[in-house]
Structure 1
Amino acid sequence: MAAASSTASASQSVRLAKRAMRKSMGLRLAAVSTEDVLAQSATITRNLLASRLYREARTISVYLNTPSGEVDTHELCLDALRSQKTLYVPSFALASPGPPTSDQREDSDQKEPSPAANDRKKPQFAAEMSMLHIIDEKDYLSLPKNSYGIREPSLDDVLSPATTSSSSELPRRTEALAPHTHGGTGLDLIVCPGLAFDLKGGRLGHGKGYYDRYLLRAKEWALRERQRQGQGQGQGQGQGQGQGQG
């Protein structure tokens, strides 16, 4: 019992320390001038583009930055597209509920708008982040901005055609970690945002856990894909041996 109490106390201390650090780092980042952000972003982008990790990556996800206080990823996204890499960017949006049924329309005609209905107009976010495919440069530049001024594809785009300049057959967006039968490719490189990082690669996020959970899902996707490919190779070898024996 004492051990459980000690663990809970330590966990609470970590949460409080993270909360204090987020507040402190948020204030420091807000004080960085736009000129400094752009200059440091250019240096970071050059270093990343020159890295082996980036050069060898075929599928990458890149966060799209807020208007201030974050490394600008615009040039990185453009380079990825121009280098023929498969680019994914995050979406936190909820899918639209779709058109109302006839019964719902009747109810809405008979009832006054409720406070809950007004709340639905406020920004809402999905429980989990999605990484959606960007078709090409035109598609990227046409992404609408959300209420925080960040470019963001709609989750509805997974079900509807995306804008593209390269084909009359408009492809649909795919999610990076969808099953391979549904167009999922997995990710070779994930560029994450963060309020602070340490020299060992530790990251302090914004506290919602979106990227923590997504990184875990990406590892699980890669493991399943390796197992699937291994099974396919094993079956192929078995068939080849059977044909040789015949």
Structure 2
Amino acid sequence: MAALRAAKQALRKAIKTRVAALSDEEKQRQSLVVSQKLFRHPKYVSCKRIALFLSMHDEVLTEEIIKDAFKLGKSCFIPRYERSCSHMDMLQLTSLQDMETLPLTSWNIRQPAEDDNSREEALAAGLDLILMPGLGFDLMGKRLGRGKGYYDAYLERCIKYSQGKP
């Protein structure tokens, strides 16, 4: 297990180095390619309730996806991370203006405040599609995240919830 953890850490470091070498223009170009493919995907086209992430500097830029989702009348949910316990919830984002007014975290990403309990929570409401960030993906679609386990734990909760286990 320790060897696997070390291998993942080495891979994360190598990927971060490669991504850091990309120009902002190249990141924008690649993000647009990903977005255009997503916009044509049948799962995206048919979804009504989508969870997505607000991108960090080394991730696929999601602003165009968020704009498109709102334009198409989809309900959008974004993460709220609790750093103290590696817990994450997906809370509804009501508009682009709402997104711009969210407080910044120490990771320099916007999210609903911890005391903001006025938003609908996605787990209880149900989601049709979840877009997750990842440092890398293998050919089978398995994701390498940042190593904190937020999304892994959230997906486990989604599975349990869908099986009627709170």
- TM-score interval (norm. to shorter): over 0.9
Give the Cα separation in 1 of the matches to 2:151 and 2:24.
Answer: 26
**Aligned position for 1:192:** 132
Mapped pair 1:84 → 2:73 = yes
**Aligned position for 1:155:** 114
Aligned length: 165
The structure with more strand, counted as a fraction of residues: 2
For residue 28 of structure 1, report the CA deviation from its aligned partner.
1.1
Contact preservation (8 Å) 2:86, 2:148:
no
Contact preservation (8 Å) 1:32, 1:69:
no
**Aligned position for 2:97:** 138
SS in 1 for 2:122: coil
Describe how 1:40-55 pairs up with structure 2 within 5 A: 40-55=30-45
**Aligned position for 1:206:** 146
CA shift digits 1:66-120 (9 cap, x unpaired): 1x21110001111112211111001114xxxxxxxxxxxxxxxxxxxxxxxxxxx
SS in 2 for 1:157: coil
Query: Identical aligned pairs, as a percentage?
Result: 39
CA shift digits 1:178-203 (9 cap, x unpaired): xxxxxx21211111111110121111
Mapped pair 1:218 → 2:158 = yes
**Aligned position for 1:109:** none
Describe how 1:49-88 pairs up with structure 2 within 5 A: 49-66=39-56, 68-88=57-77
Mean Cα deviation higher: 36-45 or 79-88: 79-88
SS in 2 for 1:13: helix
Give the Cα separation in 2 of the matches to 1:42 and 1:221.
Answer: 34
Give the Cα separation in 2 of the matches to 1:59 and 1:219.
Answer: 17
Aligned-residue RMSD, C-alpha: 1.6
Question: Unpaired runs of 5+ in structure 2?
Answer: none
SS in 2 for 1:92: strand
Contact preservation (8 Å) 1:186, 1:221:
no
Contact preservation (8 Å) 2:50, 2:127:
yes
Higher-Rg member (1/2): 1
For residue 130 of structure 1, report the CA deviation from its aligned partner.
1.2
Counterpart code for 1:174: E
**Aligned position for 2:16:** 26
**Aligned position for 1:96:** none
Counterpart code for 1:81: F
For residue 126 of structure 1, report the CA deviation from its aligned partner.
4.2
Question: Unpaired runs of 5+ in structure 1?
Answer: 1-10, 94-123, 159-171, 178-183, 226-246
| Bigger RCO (CA 8 Å, 6+ sep) | 2
Question: After TM superposition, which residue ranges in structure 1, 4 or more long, deviate above 6 angstroms?
Answer: none
For residue 141 of structure 1, report the CA deviation from its aligned partner.
2.6
Give the Cα separation in 1 of the matches to 2:115 and 2:17.
Answer: 35
Contact preservation (8 Å) 1:176, 1:185:
yes
TM-score normalized with structure 2 length: 0.92
Give the Cα separation in 1 of the matches to 2:24 and 2:85.
Answer: 30
CA shift digits 1:13-53 (9 cap, x unpaired): 21111111111111111111111000000110111011001
Give the Cα separation in 1 of the matches to 2:114 and 2:120.
Answer: 10
Give the Cα separation in 2 of the matches to 1:34 and 1:15.
Answer: 30
